[in-house]
Amino acid sequence: MSKKVLSLLLVGLLAVFAFALFGCGDDETTTEETETDVTVETTTDDTVTEDTATEDTEAAGGEAAESDYPSRTVEVINQFGPGGGTDLFIRAIGMPMAKITDQSIVGISVTGGGGVPAATEFFNRPTDGYTMMAIGPEEVINHAMGRIDATQFLPVARVQYDQGLFFVGPDSEYESVEQLIEFARENPGDLSIGVTGAAGFDEVLVGLWNLRSEAELEVVPFESSAEAQAAVLGGHTDLMYEEYGPMRALIESGEVTPLVLFSEERLPVLEDVPTALELDIDVTLGRWRGFAFKEGTDQQYVDTMFDVIEEAVEDPLYTSVEEQNMLQYRSELLGPDEFQEFFNSEMETYSDVMEQLDLAQ
User: What would the DSSP string read from start to end of 125-162?
Assistant: S-SSSSEEEEE-HHHHHHHHTTSS-GGGEEEEEEEEE-
- Per DSSP bridges, beta strands 153-161 and 192-196 are unpaired
Given this model, what pLDDT does residue 237 score?
Answer: 98
- The DSSP code for 284 is -
Using CB atoms within 10 Å of the CB of residue 200, give its burial: 0 to 12 exposed, 13 to 18 middle, 19+ buried.
buried
> What is the sign of the dihedral through the CA atoms of 287, 290, 294 and 295?
negative
Query: Mind listing the pLDDT tens digit for each residue in 141-191?
Result: 999 999 999 999 999 999 999 999 999 999 999 999 999 999 999 999 999
Structural domains of the chain ordered from first start: 3-162+287-356 (3.40.190.150), 164-279 (3.40.190.10)
Given this model, what pLDDT does residue 359 score?
Answer: 80
Query: Mind listing the pLDDT tens digit for each residue in 263-302?
Result: 999 999 999 999 999 999 999 999 999 999 999 999 999 9
Q: Are 252 and 54 in contact (CB under 8 A)?
A: no
Q: Are 91 and 45 in contact (CB under 8 A)?
A: yes
Provide the mean pLDDT of the chain: 86
Crossing angle (nearest 10°) for helices 3-21 and 316-324: 10
Nearest to 15 by CA among 329, 259, 320, 346: 320
Nearest to 118 by CA among 200, 29, 24, 45: 29
